[in-house]
Amino acid sequence: MNQWVYLNGEYVPREMARISVFDHGFLYGDGVFEGIRAYNGRVFKLGEHLKRLFDSAKAISLKIPLSFQELKEKILETLRKNQLRDAYIRIVVSRGEGDLGLDPGKCPNPQVVIIADRISIYPEKFYQEGLEVVTVGTRRNLSSALDPRIKSLNYLNNILAKLEASMRGAAEAIMLNQEGYVTECTGDNIFIVDKGTLITPPDWAGILKGITRDVVIELAREDNIPVEEKVFTPFAVYTSDECFLTGTAAEIIPVTKVDGKVIGSGKAGPVTCRLISRFRELTQREGVPIYKKEEKDG
Ligand code: PMP
């Protein structure tokens, strides 16, 4: 079956989904994006993802040429057009075509792309055995230079960290901020569990405020697990009882080794396992319905 891509108001087959080489998204990484998941016929946390997209666009003075509601409808339509119920959705808004100079003022037409694809799920083994991660030398972007809260097309900071991790044979990289505090991984937020308390860096430490991170905090509070948003150093990770990462693609994934040190028991811990099962249950029942059938089911 053909894959249809939404491109500025039209649906085109994937081979025809092309953007100009003069687009400043391509030339300079000037634009914003979102990654969203659909589970079981429903789009999970669609409103939250759209809000973050619009906030990111605002922060870089990029005008999205669709309203919140229009974009929401286009996303659902793209899923229907591709007959998907479980999917990974990528929204990209780039600055659009300009000249070879930096000036965004010369880019009158921001480009909107919606790609709905089948998900490639991580092997179940990762969720049981956990990941091995390393702390890398590449620091997370300074908030005063390029605020990590902006989900921009400029991911070179994260890519450099990912390269370091790959070169050291690790699946992910823990990035520190300028002060040496843990921020996040290259595409996921980080949590530790210390004596029953769930701890994650606050957004001002220099992180992208993950939607999955917010869901996990909410689930933990519902379970009466104490949650603290505070900064911590790699030492706190090494000596924690449990550690896990969160993100739209990875969901909740345990970390069992950091910089060669085994975390807790070396297996996914009880708090992590509980949150994984609660998260999976939530994604199966909550979200914006794509098709009429789910609408009726409520
Ligand atoms: N941090 C970074 C740098 C990311 O790219 C992502 C993935 N979008 C996350 C954290 C996790 O955010 P979310 O849970 O919203 O996918």
Give per-residue pLDDT as tens, 176-209: 999 999 999 999 999 999 999 999 999 999 999 9
Check: CB of residue 162 under 8 Å from CB of residue 169: no
CATH of the domain at 43: 3.30.470.10
Residue 100: inside a domain: yes
The CA distance from 24 to 100, in Å, is: 8
Structure confidence at residue 297 as a pLDDT band (50, 70, 90): low
- One domain, residues 148 and 263: yes
Check: CB of residue 52 under 8 Å from CB of residue 152: no
Residue 187 Cα to ligand 1 midpoint, Å, equals 5
Residue 291: inside a domain: no
DSSP E strands in 97-185: the ranges are 111-117, 131-135, 172-176, 182-184
* Ligand 1 mutation pick, 248, 251, 253, max ligand atoms within 8 A of CB: 248
- One domain, residues 275 and 136: yes
pLDDT at 124 over 80: yes
- One domain, residues 169 and 57: no
Q: Which of 45, 151, 162, 257 is catalytic?
A: 151
- One domain, residues 99 and 234: no
Q: What is the pLDDT of residues 56-108, one digit of tens each?
A: 999 999 999 999 999 999 999 999 999 999 999 999 999 999 999 999 999 99
Q: Mean pLDDT across the stretch 228-243?
A: 98
Task: Give nearest CA residue, ligand 1 atom 6.
Answer: 187
72 is catalytic: no
- One domain, residues 274 and 128: yes
Q: Which of 82, 97, 117 is the last residue of a domain?
A: 117
Mean pLDDT of all residues in the chain? 96
Q: Which of 70, 98, 117 is the last residue of a domain?
A: 117
Q: Mean pLDDT across the stretch 103-126?
A: 93
Domain that includes residue 270, residue range: 124-283
- One domain, residues 152 and 255: yes
Question: Could you tell me if the CB of 187 is within 6 A of ligand 1?
Answer: yes
Check: CB of residue 244 under 8 Å from CB of residue 254: yes
Strand, coil or helix: what is 281? helix
Share of the chain above pLDDT 90, in %: 93
- One domain, residues 101 and 239: no
pTM score, two decimals? 0.97
- One domain, residues 14 and 45: yes
- One domain, residues 131 and 249: yes
pLDDT at 158 over 60: yes
Q: Which of 59, 86, 117 is the last residue of a domain?
A: 117
Residue 51: inside a domain: yes
CATH of the domain at 258: 3.20.10.10
The CA distance from 104 to 292, in Å, is: 41
Computed from CA positions of residues 141, 37, 189, 230, in that sequence, does the dihedral angle turn out positive or negative? positive
The total domain count for the chain is 2
